Amino acid sequence: MVHRLTRQQARRIAVRAQLLDTPRPSDPLDVVRRLWVVQVDLTAAVAPSAHLVLWARLGPGYRPEQLDALVDGRAIVEHDGMLHAADDMALFRAEMREWPGRPPLQEWQEDTSDWVEANSTCREDILDLLRAEGPLPARELPDTCDVPWRSSGWNDNKNVLMLLHCMERRGEVAVSSREGRERLWDLAERVLPDDPAVPWEQAGAERDRRRLASLGIARPRAGRSLGEPNDVADAGEPAVVEGVRGTWRVDPGQLEALDRPFRGRTALLSPLDRLVFDRKRVAELFGFDYQLEMYKPAAARRWGYWAMPVLHGDRLVGKLDATADPQAGVLHVDAVHQDLPWAASVVAAVDREIRSLARLLELEVHRA
C-alpha cells in the first residue's frame, strides 16, 4: 500500500519526528538517541550547532554543560563528525571491519584504500604513540607518510588529519574529547563501547530505520552527501506527497500519529539542523528557500552569515540573522527576515525565542 499524504501531513510528520512539536522532550541523551545524529560544527557565530539543536528541542532549561557531561562520560560519542548515543556504535562495527566497503568499490574508495596502505608505516606510528601517550591532538602525531594526500585543495598535505579520518572509519581511533576547537584522538578501544558488532546487512537496515524514524519522511534514494546520508533505502512504508514528484518512505509510527491533534510551536534552528539540512527535501515539503551563506562574500548574502531558520507550527516562515559577541555580552540581532508578513502572534513568539537564546548564551539582546 502506498500512503497518500498532503504536504501539511508530510510537514507535520517531519516536525514531530524531529521533536519540534509540543510537549518538549526533557532528557538530552534521549534527544540525541531519537535524533540518531547531531552534527558537530563549532562555528561560533551564535553557538556551536549541537548546542543549538538540543536547545531548540529542550528549551530554556537546557545548558551546554549537560551535553558536555554526557560526552565526557562517554554516554555520547563523536564519530565521523556526528554525535551518537554510545550504544549506537554497534551498528557501525561491521562497516568499520570491512572498510572501505564491500565490492564493487567506487574509484574514490579504491584510491583512499590504496593511499592508506601506502602509508601503513605512518598509521602504525600513530597507533603506537596513542597507545603510549594518548589522547593527543593531531598536531602532536608524527607525519611519516610516504605518499602525501592530494585533493581539490582544501586538504592538500593534511596527511595526519586525513589518515586519522580513515583510521576512525576503520575503527582504530576515535575522538576522545575536545579542548576548545581541537579534537583529542585516542585508540578506539578506549573510547567506544565494546558491544558486539551487528551483522553488516542487519546494521545497514537498522541505520536506515533509525534515520527514517528521526526524519519521519525521506527519499529512498538521494544524492550522496558527506557524513550522514539523507536517504533511507527500503525502511518504513512507501508514500507519495500531494504536489511533489516521486516516491518517499514514511515512518509507520508517524503515520499513526497523524490521527492525533498536531501541537506545534516556534523554534529557531541551527542551519545544520536535520529538519533543514537536506535543502531539496525542505524545499519540496516546506516550500522553504534556504542556503547556508557563510561561504559567500558578504555582499552576496541574502539572509546572513549564520542565518537561523524560523519554524512556526508546521511551517518554516523566515530566518534570524544574529551574531553572538561574548566579550561585549551581547547577542546582536542584525535582521529578522519574514518570508511572508507575520501575524503579531508570530512576531511575539519569535521574540520570546530570541530572548531564550540570549539566556542560553548568557547575553543581552541588542537589535540593529
DSSP per residue over 284-353, as a string? Answer: HHH-------TTS-GGG-SS-TTPEEEEETTEEEEEEEEEEETTTTEEEEEEEEESSPPPHHHHHHHHHH
C-alpha cell at 181: 576547537
Q: What is the pLDDT of residues 91-118, one digit of tens each?
A: 999 999 999 999 999 999 999 999 999 9
Q: What is the pLDDT of residues 175-207, one digit of tens each?
A: 999 988 899 999 999 999 999 999 999 999 999
Confidence of residue 152 (pLDDT cuts 50, 70, 90): low
Classify residue 294: in a domain, yes or no: no
By residue range, what is the domain housing residue 118? 100-170
Q: How many domains does the chain have?
A: 1
Classify residue 159: in a domain, yes or no: yes
Task: Give the model's pLDDT for residue 355.
Answer: 98
pTM to 2 decimal places: 0.96
Classify residue 104: in a domain, yes or no: yes
Task: Give the model's pLDDT for residue 153.
Answer: 60
- Mean per-residue pLDDT, 226-248: 95
Classify residue 27: in a domain, yes or no: no
What distance in Å separates the CA atoms of residue 303 and residue 319, rounded to the nearest whole number?
Answer: 7
Classify residue 220: in a domain, yes or no: no
Classify residue 327: in a domain, yes or no: no
C-alpha cell at 244: 511533489
Classify residue 175: in a domain, yes or no: no
- Mean per-residue pLDDT, 71-100: 97
Classify residue 66: in a domain, yes or no: no
Q: Provide CB contacts within 8 A for 328, sequence distance 6+.
A: none
Q: How far is CA 273 from CA 41, 141, 183, 311, in A?
A: 11, 33, 22, 12
Confidence of residue 44 (pLDDT cuts 50, 70, 90): confident
Could you give the strand order of the β-sheet that contains 266-268, starting from the edge strand earlier in sequence? Answer: 266-268, 308-312, 315-325, 330-338, 364-367
- Mean per-residue pLDDT, 316-343: 98
- Mean per-residue pLDDT, 53-75: 97
